[in-house]
Amino acid sequence: MKKNVEGGLVARKILQGPTGSIFTAVFGGNQTTIDLQIPGLFNISNALAAFAVAMALGIENEKIKFGLESCAGIPGRMERIKVSQKQDFEVIVDYAHNPDSLKNVYETIRGALNLRDGKVIAVLGATGRRDKTKRPIMGALAGKFADFVVVTNEDPYDEDPQVIIDAVAGGVLKGKKGKWRLNTNYWKIMSRHEAISKALAMAGRGDVIIITGKGAEEVMAVGLDKFEPFSDRRVVKYELSKIFKTIPEE
C-alpha cells in the first residue's frame, strides 16, 4: 500500500566525511539512520528524494535503508579510488566542470577536513570552446578551498591549452591573495597525466586529492573533431598501483 509522505522528510544529525555521510532520516514519528557511501550535502538531498519516493511506493523502511547504504555511487561522480589498505589519503574523481558544481565539491571536502587534520590538493582545468569568463572563477574557487592546486589541460578542443591553463591559474591567485607561489604551492602542468601524478606524489596521511572536470570520460578533446584516449580514473589507478606496488585495475 502506498504511504502519504506529505508530513515531510528531513535529515538530522548530519555527520559528513570526505567519502560519505551519516544522517538520520526523520519522517512523522519515525526515524532511520543512513550510512551513505557518497559524500556531500547534495547527495544527502538526493538520498532523501529517493527515500520519499520509495516510501510513497510502500517500500519498507529497512529495505530503503539497505538500498541507500548499498549504493556505492556513480563512476566519476565523487568517486573514491583506493587501491591498497596502505593508502592513507583519499583520491576523489568528479565531473564538476563549472563554478556551481565545483563549489559544491570543494565545500563538501573542505567541510569534512575541518573536523580532522589533512590538506586538500585540487587538480583542475577548464574546457575549451566554453564560457571563458568561468575559467578564473573556477581557479579562484580552487584557490579559496584548496591547500595545493595543480592546473592542467582539460578538453581544449581547438583552443590553445596553455591560454586556458593561464586563465584558470590567474584565478587561483585571487582565491587567497598573497598565499600562492608558482611551483611552491600551485603548479601549471600541461600533461594531465603528469598533473595527477604530481598531486598523488605530494599527498600525505589524511589528505584528500580532488580531480575535477572529466569524471568517467574516456577521451580528451584535442580538436574540433579529434579525440585521444584519456581517463582520469585509469591514470589514478595506474599511478597509485606504482606507489603502493599493486596490480592496476581496469
Render pLDDT for 92-148 as a digit per residue (tens, 0 to 9).
999 999 999 999 999 989 888 876 789 999 999 999 999 999 999 999 999 999 999
Q: How far is C-alpha 181 from the geometric centre of its chain's CA atoms?
A: 24
Separation between Cα atoms, residue 222 and residue 228, nearest integer Å: 7
Which of 24, 45, 70 terminates a domain? The answer is: 70
- What is the total count of domains within the chain? 2
Do residues 235 and 144 share a domain?
yes
pTM: 0.85
Residue 87's pLDDT band (cuts 50, 70, 90): very high
Do residues 49 and 101 share a domain?
no
What does 58-103 look like in DSSP terms, one character per residue?
A: T--HHHHHHHHHH----TTSSEE----TT--SEEEEE---SHHHHH
Separation between Cα atoms, residue 124 and residue 192, nearest integer Å: 9
Residue 249 lies in a domain: no
pLDDT in tens, 38-66: 888 888 999 999 999 999 999 999 999 99
Which amino acid type is present at position 150?
A: V
Nearest to 129 by CA among 211, 225, 210, 218: 225
Q: How many CA atoms lie within 13 A of 36 on its CB side?
A: 30
Mean pLDDT of 173-181: 92
Mean pLDDT of 167-177: 95
- Rg of the chain over all Cα atoms, to the nearest angstrom: 20
Higher-pLDDT residue of 74 and 234 is: 234
Separation between Cα atoms, residue 112 and residue 78, nearest integer Å: 14
Do residues 85 and 136 share a domain?
yes
Do residues 49 and 120 share a domain?
no
Residue 250 lies in a domain: no
Residue 4 lies in a domain: no
Whether the pLDDT of residue 6 is over 60: the answer is no
Mean pLDDT of 171-187: 95
Grid cell listed for 1: 500500500
Do residues 148 and 235 share a domain?
yes
Separation between Cα atoms, residue 25 and residue 215, nearest integer Å: 29
Using CA atoms, how far residue 184 sits from 55, 113, 174, 179, 180, in Å, is: 52, 22, 16, 10, 8
Among residues of the chain, what percentage have pLDDT more than 90? 77
Separation between Cα atoms, residue 48 and residue 239, nearest integer Å: 36
Whether the pLDDT of residue 1 is over 50: the answer is no
Full residue range of the structural domain in which residue 57 is found: 9-70
| CATH label of the domain that carries residue 157 | 3.90.190.20
Mean pLDDT, all residues of the chain: 92
Residue 3 lies in a domain: no
Separation between Cα atoms, residue 147 and residue 131, nearest integer Å: 26
Residue 164 lies in a domain: yes
Residue 1 lies in a domain: no
Residue 57 lies in a domain: yes
Residue 216 lies in a domain: yes
Mean pLDDT of 225-240: 97
Residue 3's pLDDT band (cuts 50, 70, 90): very low
Which of 21, 37, 70 terminates a domain? The answer is: 70
Mean pLDDT of 19-31: 88
Other residues' Cβ atoms within 10 Å of the Cβ of residue 41: 16
Nearest to 44 by CA among 77, 88, 14, 7: 14
Do residues 29 and 110 share a domain?
no
Residue 250's pLDDT band (cuts 50, 70, 90): low
